[in-house]
């Protein structure tokens, strides 16, 4: 990398203005003592496609707002490559997700602690969840915060089919759960969402946009990180590209990678930090051997049950729904009601299959009050409804490496269904989803099951269906694993093992994937990382002042 690049100096440099990075930028710059630079490769989020909840469906394959990664062919999924969208916009994936506020289960975090990650048990982390949260629902303050920047509310105008789903699920023994983030998440209900006044509230809009006036906070958007600047065992900064020019952002204290489970390990590998054999094979100069970088990739594998319907109560395009579609912009602008308020997965919940261990749910449902195309299309004419079912605690572990064809691109291999347990759980989860949809509650609007299809009944046939159609819920995690074993990339303080001046703070540090959606846990990770960094900075200042006083 050029040594003549223009330089800019900061105390902290954060790579990635996503769920965790925006929290870090806010907390580290809050008291004005430290200069902070937040770097984001994507651009502005000022579009209805991002701000209006229903716009989320237009973002997943957008070349402007999404990194449209494709996985390596999945051996056990009939050689299919899977789409892996990641947010390329201020707010990162929190600007394109379904806005569901789920934290995961107590046992997830207690498991991290039991594996050696001291300070990461559920009781340790609850204060950080509460710090961010601005709960608008009057939920139990034992579990919820009311003064945080992240507004947590209910969908403004849930589709009536969402209540039908809840009623049908109760018929198979799943209770109505009004708060998945307090106590036992078992049951079904309408999901809480990160919205404010019927608009998406991304991490950027919650934590950074309101404080852009801070003189010690610099935001560089449309700015791509190229590589880390290493000297010996210390990271001193980051080379970035903006408007065709290369800049060096020096970090007097620390660089923090918050680019997500794809971006953070990829930047480390491109900087020569990773498994020595892989780096040499890829033609990258080895700066620091760390075998775990890019390993431990986990995601939630998802199976779909989708049903046709003749009812225009469901979300969909048809002559019968045309008046509702045409009226929706006016209803949204005037009353903040109607179709444009939907996040498409308003209701869902958590269930136990016969393989659930320890009593915790092992599958999650996302109910869609509209037709999910059996052909994989973004839009399909007509009406229907669907349930997505995902495996909450996958045993199959994948990895991220550098592509041989283009080392600037990550090669993502989920390694789905490497462990038979995952297939067994998903098969049972799909059976539960079918049981819900078989309820008499749906009889008035019932149509043909398009996927898996009535002829797909046996476990063998369902497994064939999963191999042909299963996808991901877009929750990649674990590729910069936190821990104390040989496969770990960061320690429990999120410092990269064997290096100084570099931390990672995003979903990539999860030792095991949380049992639910990953946005809220990533925001929590940003909160805890900022707390640890500020504590270290204060200790460092106190040590320096003590030494000067003694001198």
* Spatial distance between the Cα atoms of 205 and 150, rounded to a whole number of angstroms: 9
Which residue in the block uniquely carries the two structure tokens 């006036």? 213
Cβ neighbors of 155 (< 8 A, separation 6 or more) are: 53, 190, 191, 193, 195, 341, 342, 343, 346
* Spatial distance between the Cα atoms of 386 and 370, rounded to a whole number of angstroms: 7
Looking only at the bridges linking them, the beta strands covering 301-309 and 234-242 are unpaired
Strand partners, 246: 241
How many CB atoms sit inside 10 A of residue 359's CB? 9
* Spatial distance between the Cα atoms of 398 and 102, rounded to a whole number of angstroms: 24
Alpha carbon separation from 365 to 188, 313, 452 (Å, rounded): 8, 21, 16
* Angle formed by the axes of helices 459-469 and 420-437, nearest 10°: 100
Q: Is the dihedral angle over the CA atoms 165, 428, 370, 367 positive or is it negative? A: positive
- Taking alpha carbons only, the member of 25, 56, 14, 24 closest to residue 201 is 56
Looking only at the bridges linking them, the beta strands covering 133-135 and 245-257 are unpaired
* Spatial distance between the Cα atoms of 118 and 206, rounded to a whole number of angstroms: 29
- Three-state DSSP at 382 gives strand
> What are the b/e assignments for 434-447, b being 16+ CB within 10 Å?
bbbbebebbeebbb
Q: Is the dihedral angle over the CA atoms 152, 154, 155, 156 positive or is it negative? A: negative
Tokens coding 506:
């995003």
- Taking alpha carbons only, the member of 267, 306, 301, 297 closest to residue 284 is 267
How many angstroms separate the first and last alpha carbons of the chain? 40
Q: Which one is catalytic: 266, 366, 374, 475?
A: 475
- Three-state DSSP at 16 gives coil
Alpha carbon separation from 410 to 43, 229, 417 (Å, rounded): 21, 20, 21
Determine the distance from the C-alpha atom of residue 367 to the mean position of all C-alpha atoms in its chain, rounded to a whole number: 19
For the question of residue 475 being annotated catalytic, the response is yes
Determine the distance from the C-alpha atom of residue 472 to the mean position of all C-alpha atoms in its chain, rounded to a whole number: 12
* Burial group, residue 535, by CB count within 10 angstroms (0-12, 13-18, 19+): exposed
| Catalytic machinery residues | 475
């Amino acid at each position: 990398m050029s040594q003549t690049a223009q330089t800019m100096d900061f105390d902290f440099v954060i790579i990635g203005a996503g769920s965790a990075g925006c929290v870090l930028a806010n907390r580290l710059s809050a008291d004005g003592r430290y200069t902070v630079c937040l770097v984001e490769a994507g651009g502005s989020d000022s579009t209805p496609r991002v701000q209006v909840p229903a716009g989320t469906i237009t973002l997943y394959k957008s070349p402007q707002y999404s990194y449209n990664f494709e996985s390596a062919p999945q051996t056990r999924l009939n050689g299919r490559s899977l789409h892996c969208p990641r947010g390329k916009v201020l707010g990162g994936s929190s600007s394109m997700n379904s806005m569901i506020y789920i934290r995961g289960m107590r046992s997830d975090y207690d498991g991290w602690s039991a594996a050696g990650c001291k300070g990461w048990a559920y009781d340790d982390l609850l204060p950080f969840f509460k710090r961010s949260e601005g709960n608008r629902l009057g939920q139990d303050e034992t579990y919820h915060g009311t003064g945080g920047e992240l507004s947590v509310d209910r969908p403004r105008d849930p589709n009536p089919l969402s209540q039908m789903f809840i009623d049908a699920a109760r018929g198979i023994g799943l209770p109505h759960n009004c708060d998945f983030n307090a106590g036992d998440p078992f049951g079904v209900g309408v999901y809480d969402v990160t919205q404010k006044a019927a608009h998406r509230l991304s991490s950027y809009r919650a934590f950074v946009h309101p404080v852009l006036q801070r003189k010690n906070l610099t935001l560089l958007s449309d700015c791509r990180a190229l590589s880390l600047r290493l000297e010996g065992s210390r990271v001193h900064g980051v080379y970035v590209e903006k408007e065709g020019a290369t800049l060096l952002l020096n970090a007097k204290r620390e660089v923090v990678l918050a680019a997500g489970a794809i971006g953070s390990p990829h930047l480390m590998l491109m900087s020569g930090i990773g498994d020595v054999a892989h780096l040499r094979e890829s033609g990258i100069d080895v700066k620091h051997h760390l075998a775990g970088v890019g390993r431990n990739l986990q995601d939630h594998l998802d199976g779909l049950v989708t049903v046709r319907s003749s009812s225009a109560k469901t979300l969909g395009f048809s002559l019968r729904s045309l008046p509702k579609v045409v009226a929706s912009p006016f209803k949204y602008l005037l009353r903040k009601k109607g179709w444009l308020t939907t996040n498409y997965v308003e209701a869902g919940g958590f269930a136990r299959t016969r393989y659930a261990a320890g009593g915790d749910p092992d599958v999650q449902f996302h109910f869609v009050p509209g037709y999910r195309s059996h052909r994989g299309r973004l839009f399909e004419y007509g009406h229907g409804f669907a349930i997505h079912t995902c495996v909450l605690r996958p045993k199959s572990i994948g990895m991220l490496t550098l592509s041989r064809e283009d080392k600037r691109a990550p090669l993502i291999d989920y390694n789905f269904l490497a462990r038979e347990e995952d297939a067994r759980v998903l098969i049972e989860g799909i059976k539960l989803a079918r049981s819900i949809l078989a309820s008499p509650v749906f009889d008035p609007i019932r149509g043909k099951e398009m996927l898996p299809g009535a002829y797909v009944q046996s476990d063998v046939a369902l497994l064939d269906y999963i191999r042909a159609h299963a996808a991901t819920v877009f929750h990649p995690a674990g590729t910069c694993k936190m821990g104390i074993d040989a496969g770990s990339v960061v320690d429990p303080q999120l410092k990269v093992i064997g290096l100084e001046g570099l931390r990672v703070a995003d979903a990539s540090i999860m030792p095991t994937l949380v049992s639910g959606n990953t946005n809220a846990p990533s925001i929590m990770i940003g909160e805890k990382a900022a707390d640890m960094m500020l504590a270290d900075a204060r200790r460092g200042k106190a040590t320096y002042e003590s030494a000067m006083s003694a001198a």
